[in-house]
Amino acid sequence: MLLAAFIDAGADLPSVERMLQLIPTYYSKCKSIRLERKDVKMHGFRACRVDIKITEDQSDTDAITFSKTVERIVESSGMGEKASAFAINSANLLIAAESKVHGAQPSDTHLHEAGSADTLADILGVAAACDSLGIFEGTIYATPVAVGGGVVSFSHGTVSTPAPAVMEILRQRKIPMVGGTDPSELTTPTGITLLASLGPNFSETYPEMMAEEVGYGAGTKEFVSGPNFLRVVLGRANSVSKFSDRIVMLETNLDDLSGEFLSYALQRLIGSGAKDAWITSAQFKKNRPGYVLHVICDQKDKEQFSRMIIEETGTLGVRYQTWDRIVLERNVRTVSVKLKGRSFDVRVKTASDSTGKTVRVKPEADDVQEIARILQLPAREVARMIEAQI
């Protein structure tokens, strides 16, 4: 479905077909492979369906052979560096998940359904499609993954949905999931592997963008609730939102925590990677004085920092809001400056707007303070001297 969606969105079909034709050459159990693309109607909607016709031995494949096969095909394909890394990482992620759920080392793992030439076609076909579309040069977003419900049957028996390998990758990569609209398997191990390897930012809503191409990849299952397709949207950020992102604001009210513990909680939150954290004074019910703890973090870290706040403060709950923001592109580089006849290396933060123009330059405060101590000068004077040279 993912491959079909990319093809429908404009991926170069001959490039995908050339990639697939390398599989029989390097994967001995695969005798022939052919891709068929067609348009189908699902609940009145048009979508693209890709069928991979394969002739192959039904024997299992050891994980090492599978991984090496992907590497050999990638080396001979001429794909870009990022596309090649995506294919190799996908194979290794799938192997790692299968090894984990079966309690084996990768070197001792045998792949059943996951070792089929169809899996290779999915991984390598998506890599070639994304390479032709320039996907790896952009920013990738995805909505939470619908895993479905009910049960799924495979070589090891019947288990509840999602399949163990799917759940393992969701856990490893901290991917948000939802049930979905149908009590059926909606996400396969190969599918979640490909999505995870694309490394998307996850959001319940679309990022601000101008849509240019839309592709619909049809599945083979028929659902009562609606069409079974996966949607890919290709677009561009406008100049205003070039450096926009989405963050989460966490807050909790505190009226029974000592200043010492509150200070430690703040330090731990910032030290653990929060984008920002601070405390404001407040007046609560029964005229109790207290504080409000605020934390800004990425969406994917919401649960981590919520747990940390609860652990450190003893609060009974944490509220949150999701915010869109526009930020300048920020970088840190080290520059050499000469002050009072001495040379110093200083870390400098620069901020640029959407046109690439540098709009702010600021030396790192710790470096300024260290130089001020060495030269026995006020830190503000040292900062001005460094800024003048920069």
CB atoms within 10 A of CB 300: 15
Strands (E), 25-120: 30-42, 45-56, 61-62, 110-111
Whether residue 294 contacts residue 278, with contact meaning beta carbons closer than 8 Å, is answered with yes
The residue length of the chain stands at 390
The two three-digit tokens of residue 25, written as one number: 């050459």
CA geometry: angle 295, 296, 301, nearest 5 deg: 100
pLDDT, residue 241, reads: 47
| Ramachandran area for residue 202 (φ above 0: left; ψ -120 to 50: alpha; else beta) | beta
- pLDDT value at residue 266: 95
Residue 258 neighbours by CB distance under 10 Å: 8
Q: Which residue has the tokens 């290709």?
A: 234
**Residues β-bridged to residue 191:** none
Domain 329-389 falls in which CATH fold?
Ubiquitin-like (UB roll) (3.10.20)
CB-CB contact of 70 with 118 (8 Å) = no
pTM for this prediction: 0.67
What letter represents residue 25's amino acid?
T
Orientation angle between helical segments 259-271 and 302-313, nearest 10 degrees = 160
pLDDT in tens, the chain (390 residues): 999 999 999 999 999 999 999 999 999 889 999 999 999 999 999 999 999 999 998 887 888 999 999 999 999 998 999 999 999 999 999 999 989 988 888 777 878 777 789 999 999 999 999 999 999 999 899 999 999 998 888 766 788 889 999 999 999 999 999 998 888 899 999 999 999 999 998 888 888 789 999 999 999 999 888 899 999 999 987 654 456 678 999 999 999 999 999 999 999 999 999 999 999 999 998 888 999 999 999 988 999 999 999 999 999 999 999 888 888 888 888 999 999 999 999 999 988 877 778 888 899 999 999 999 999 999 999 999 999 988
Q: Which residues of 160-183 are buried (b: 16+ CB within 10 A; e: fewer)?
A: ebbbbbbbbbbeebebbbeebebe
pLDDT single digits (tens) 32-63: 999 999 999 999 999 999 999 999 988 878 88
pLDDT at 157: 77
Parallel, antiparallel or unpaired: strands 145-146 and 177-178: parallel
Is 209 exposed, middle or buried (CB count within 10 Å of its CB: 0-12, 13-18, 19+)? middle
Name the token pair of 160: 């509840």
Q: What does the domain layout of the chain look like in residue ranges?
A: 2-236, 244-326, 329-389
For residue 228, count CB atoms less than 10 angstroms from its CB and return exposed for 0-12, middle for 13-18, buried for 19 or more: buried
Give alpha helix (H) positions in 10-60.
Answer: 13-20, 23-26
pLDDT score at 239 = 54
- Identify which of 79, 63, 68, 78 has the alpha carbon closest to the alpha carbon of residue 27: 68
Residue pair 309/250 in contact (Cβ under 8 Å)? The answer is: yes
How far is residue 149's CA from residue 201's CA, in Å, rounded to a whole number?
Answer: 24
CATH architecture of 244-326: 2-Layer Sandwich (3.30)
